[in-house]
């Protein structure tokens, strides 16, 4: 199946997208879905570093069997429009873990768009996204959670925090909850803030130069997104990719 | 070692400057522990913050030289590397950054600025262990996030552990005794003595109370009122202030 036309910003899932970047990718890119099926009781962990100096679109369809677990950890450091989409379907007792970081300056848009469907009872999901931007860079998190009528005891959480290093950078959070069951927990939160100047001065007063102080504070800020990643090497790889994108950022 | 001459400083920015320091002159030679006392609003914390280089404080006249160097021309982290330590009245919490990482990076940044070799992980941990023991602080606390979840007294004790690890030549301690119980006060006072009591070091000790001075025993005591030093004497001046109050002594 090929879509006849590109979506527009009137489509909710493309509301904050870079339509010029998408046009440069072309219609064909929209068909490139990667399917990941995780069988009952099985577990999959994927760690990705995405983004380059050209637009990128990464689309995943993840189907989790009963009691299965899928964890995705993504550093999105694109210097052009970079979008990661996840459509996740959870069977009974399955768990989906998502940790994402968007980081960058320039004038590019980086975004995570997730749709997590709790189709059966007792499934859990947890999504943590951190965004760090400067210049006129943008970070978006559009997170949709759907809970089916009989998916009782669903426990779904999503948490978004953005750190804007200068005026002109922006972050957009769009949590969408569609809940038809009545015995569920769905938590979501979103905050946008600046670097803690008191903490920065405290660090400088102890001898850290401004760039090192900023790097430590950003490292602490984005660390939340990778807390659930146990593999120390992969953890370091994702963190390093994010922090190297920070070099040259405004102090 | 520290020569403050006719220092004038304002807070509130260029649009709405409020003069706080109004011609403060004070010389602290090496080997001296100099206590600063004074009523609320006299400018004690402003003096500490101006010496540390905190943003938001504007020096409008006067000079500060530190070991012959123009202190006010240095960035906060350069002041630290030059050997100045600012003990905070309200130490800042830094979630996500451990004390060990923070202090090792800070110490090695200072050493690098001075052209010294960085300490290895093992060397640093040994130093940290020694200084924590000196202040009777559990080493486990140093592995925790900077000041997060610390009580008021623990934060002040942690400040002194930081001072011990960083090994400054000159310490400006802003109400280090506030929030301390009697036992902690003795430990912190003894810590100041053992870390900073040396012929080539000096301390500016800002305090409201005699009780810390009973332990630290200052060589000089100055009274700061309305942005100026109005009286300087020996330890007996602090005792007089404690007995008679600022109004009586300054009248």
Residue of A nearest to B101 (CA): A216
Name the nearest CA neighbour of A204 among B47, B124, B46, B110: B110
* pLDDT tens-place string over residues B210-244: 889 999 999 999 999 999 999 999 999 999 988 88
Percent of chain B with pLDDT over 90: 78
| Closest residue to A207, CB basis, from B54, B81, B95 | B81
* Contact between residue B107 and residue A207 where contact means Cβ atoms under 8 Å apart: yes
| Mean pLDDT, rounded, of chain B | 93
**Distance separating alpha carbons of residues A171 and A112, to the nearest angstrom:** 12
Give the total residue count for chain B.
251
Residues 6+ apart with CB under 8 A from B247: none
Residues 6+ apart with CB under 8 A from B164: B130, B131, B134, B135, B191, B195
**Distance separating alpha carbons of residues A98 and A128, to the nearest angstrom:** 6
pLDDT of residue A3: 53
Q: What is the value of ipTM here, to two decimals?
A: 0.94
Kindly report the nearest CA distance between residue A209 and chain B, in angstroms. Answer: 6
| Mean pLDDT, rounded, of chain A | 95
Q: Check pLDDT > 60 for residue A179.
A: yes
Kindly report the nearest CA distance between residue B21 and chain A, in angstroms. Answer: 21
* Contact between residue A214 and residue A177 where contact means Cβ atoms under 8 Å apart: no
Mean predicted confidence (pLDDT) in B174-190: 88
Q: Do residue B96 and residue A204 have CB atoms under 8 angstroms apart?
A: no
CA A157 to each of CA A70, A129, A189, A232: distance values in angstroms, whole numbers, following the listed order = 15, 11, 9, 24
Mean predicted confidence (pLDDT) in B89-112: 93
Residues 6+ apart with CB under 8 A from B79: A205, B51, B52, B53, B66, B71
Residues 6+ apart with CB under 8 A from B139: B128, B129, B132, B133
pLDDT of residue A4: 56
Residue of B nearest to A197 (CA): B55
Q: Please report residues of A whose CB lies closer than 8 A to that of B53.
A: 204-205
Tell me which residue has tokens 């000041």: B147
Joined tokens for residue A42: 């099985």
Model confidence band, residue A74 (pLDDT cutoffs 50, 70, 90): very high
For helices B99-113 and B121-134, the axis angle rounded to 10 degrees is 110
Q: Do residue B92 and residue A217 have CB atoms under 8 angstroms apart?
A: no
Which residue spans within A153-245 are E strands per DSSP?
155-164, 170-179, 185-193
Q: Which A residues 166-205 touch B at CB under 8 Å?
A: 196-199, 201-205
Mean predicted confidence (pLDDT) in A24-36: 92
The number of beta carbons lying within 10 Å of the beta carbon of residue B9 is: 24
Residue B154, SS3?
Answer: helix
Q: Do residue B76 and residue A205 have CB atoms under 8 angstroms apart?
A: yes
Q: Do residue A216 and residue B95 have CB atoms under 8 angstroms apart?
A: no
Residue A80, SS3?
Answer: coil
Q: Check pLDDT > 90 for residue B14.
A: no
Q: Do residue B106 and residue A207 have CB atoms under 8 angstroms apart?
A: yes
Q: Check pLDDT > 70 for residue A2.
A: no
**Distance separating alpha carbons of residues B22 and B229, to the nearest angstrom:** 9
pLDDT of residue A250: 75
Residue of A nearest to B166 (CA): A206
Q: Which B residues 57-76 touch A at CB under 8 Å?
A: 75-76
**Distance separating alpha carbons of residues B181 and B185, to the nearest angstrom:** 6
Q: Check pLDDT > 90 for residue B246.
A: no
Instruction: Say yes or no: A31 contacts chain B, CB-CB below 8 A.
Output: no
The number of beta carbons lying within 10 Å of the beta carbon of residue A25 is: 19
Mean predicted confidence (pLDDT) in B37-48: 93
Q: pTM for the full model?
A: 0.88
């Amino acid at each position: 199946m090929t879509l006849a036309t590109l979506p527009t910003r009137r489509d909710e899932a493309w509301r904050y997208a870079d339509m010029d970047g998408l046009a440069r990718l072309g219609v064909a890119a929209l068909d490139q879905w990667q399917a990941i099926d995780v069988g009952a009781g099985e577990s999959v962990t994927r760690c990705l570093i995405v983004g380059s100096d050209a637009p990128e679109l990464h689309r995943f369809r993840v189907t989790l069997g009963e009691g299965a677990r899928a964890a995705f950890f993504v550093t999105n450091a694109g210097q052009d429009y970079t979008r990661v989409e996840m459509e996740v379907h959870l069977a009974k007792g399955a768990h989906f873990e998502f940790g994402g970081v968007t980081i960058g300056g320039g004038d590019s848009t980086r975004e995570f768009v997730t749709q997590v469907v709790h189709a059966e009872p007792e499934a859990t999901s947890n999504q943590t996204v951190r965004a760090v931007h400067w210049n006129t860079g943008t970070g978006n998190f559009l997170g949709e959670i759907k809970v089916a009528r009989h998916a009782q005891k669903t426990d779904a959480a999503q948490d978004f925090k953005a750190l804007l290093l200068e005026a002109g950078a922006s972050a957009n959070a769009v949590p969408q909850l569609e809940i038809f069951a009545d015995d569920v927990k769905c938590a979501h939160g979103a905050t946008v803030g600046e670097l803690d100047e008191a903490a920065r001065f405290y660090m400088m007063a102890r001898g850290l130069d401004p760039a090192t102080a900023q790097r430590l504070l950003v490292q602490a800020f984005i660390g939340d997104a990778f807390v659930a990643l146990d593999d120390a090497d992969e953890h370091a790889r994702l963190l390093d990719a994010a922090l190297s994108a920070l070099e040259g950022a405004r102090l | 070692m520290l020569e403050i001459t006719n220092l004038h400083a304002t807070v509130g920015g260029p649009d709405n400057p409020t003069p706080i320091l109004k011609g403060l002159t004070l010389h602290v030679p090496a080997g001296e522990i100099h206590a600063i006392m004074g009523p609320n609003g006299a400018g004690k914390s402003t003096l500490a913050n101006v010496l540390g280089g905190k943003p938001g404080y504007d020096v409008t006249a006067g000079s500060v030289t530190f070991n012959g160097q123009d202190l006010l021309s240095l960035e906060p982290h350069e002041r630290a590397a030059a050997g100045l330590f600012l003990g905070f009245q309200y130490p800042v919490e830094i979630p996500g950054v451990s004390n060990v990482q923070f202090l090792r990076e800070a110490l090695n940044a200072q050493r690098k600025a001075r052209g010294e070799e960085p300490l290895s992980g093992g060397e640093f941990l040994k130093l940290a262990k020694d200084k924590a023991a000196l202040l009777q602080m559990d080493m486990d606390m140093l592995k925790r996030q900077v000041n997060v979840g610390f009580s008021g007294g623990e934060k002040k004790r942690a400040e002194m552990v930081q001072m011990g690890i960083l090994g400054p030549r000159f310490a400006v301690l802003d109400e280090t005794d506030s929030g301390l119980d009697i036992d902690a006060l003795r430990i912190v006072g003894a810590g100041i003595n053992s870390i900073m009591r040396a012929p080539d070091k000096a301390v500016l000790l800002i305090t409201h109370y005699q009780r810390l001075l009973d332990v630290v025993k200052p060589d000089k005591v100055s009274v700061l009122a309305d942005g100026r030093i109005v009286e300087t004497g020996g330890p007996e001046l602090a005792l007089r202030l404690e007995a008679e109050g600022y109004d009586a002594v300054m009248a």
